[in-house]
Amino acid sequence: MANRAALRWLIKGKSRFPVIQYMLLNDTLEYLIPPQELIITDLKKDVWTILHELEQKSNGNSLEIYFKSVTLAYGRHRRDSAQFHYLISSYLRKNNLIKSNSRTAYLLKKEELRLFKSALNWLDVDCKTRGCAYVAYLWMIALKATRSRIKLVIKQIWMKRLSIIRMNQKQRMEFSEFYSLLDSSNFN
């Protein structure tokens, strides 16, 4: 598995500057760049700075970049939102990093989001502390957590945290128990 970067474009309102939230994970899902938030003042310069930092910290290992942006199809977008999408897409195309699923179409909502945040919290990824809620969204983007893939993604994180390469019957039972505890605590 390659190093995985997640970038998220976030607008903070009309009168405030937008931010880019980003992080870089290695193949064992440990941070190479912990989740960070950068206030954008000069979009092009800031995007290139982030992408250069991701390349540098990747240490020559293969890199997969996943991002969440607002595209031109959304009618009420800001001009800088479309520019961010264009800059990231052109960078990925130029460096042969583009994939059909590089851009995340939507993020988890309500019950799925609560379940995912609980799983991250139980697996020692802090996303419940005040000011750290965006960490869960970055993990979602990096691991392509969708409604249909949420159990698979939680299983992937669980296996990496416990250094499991191939699950045996006992570990399958332990994961099933972990997931059922998550599921029951999520809805109570």
Q: pLDDT tens digits for 43-80?
A: 999 999 999 999 999 988 899 999 988 765 555 556 78
Tens-place pLDDT, residues 74-109:
555 567 888 888 899 899 889 888 776 677 767 788
As a whole number, mean pLDDT of residues 23-33 equals 94
Q: Alpha-carbon distance 71 to 91, whole Å?
A: 16
pLDDT of residue 173: 95
88 and 144 co-located in one domain? no
User: Model's pTM, two decimal places?
Assistant: 0.89
Q: Alpha-carbon distance 44 to 49, whole Å?
A: 9
3-state SS class at 1: coil
> Going by C-beta distance under 8 Å and a sequence separation of 6 or more, which residues neighbour residue 16?
none
* Structure-token pair, residue 4: 């995985």
87 and 114 co-located in one domain? no
164 and 129 co-located in one domain? yes
Residue 164 lies in a domain: yes
Q: Alpha-carbon distance 80 to 47, whole Å?
A: 12
86 and 7 co-located in one domain? yes
Domain that holds residue 55: 3-94
As a whole number, mean pLDDT of residues 15-26 equals 91
Reply yes or no on whether the pLDDT at 140 is more than 70.
Answer: yes
Residue with tokens 């009309």: 14
Number of domains in the chain: 2
Q: List 88's β-bridge partners, or say none.
A: none
Angle at 39 between CA 34 and CA 44, to 5 degrees: 100
114 and 70 co-located in one domain? no
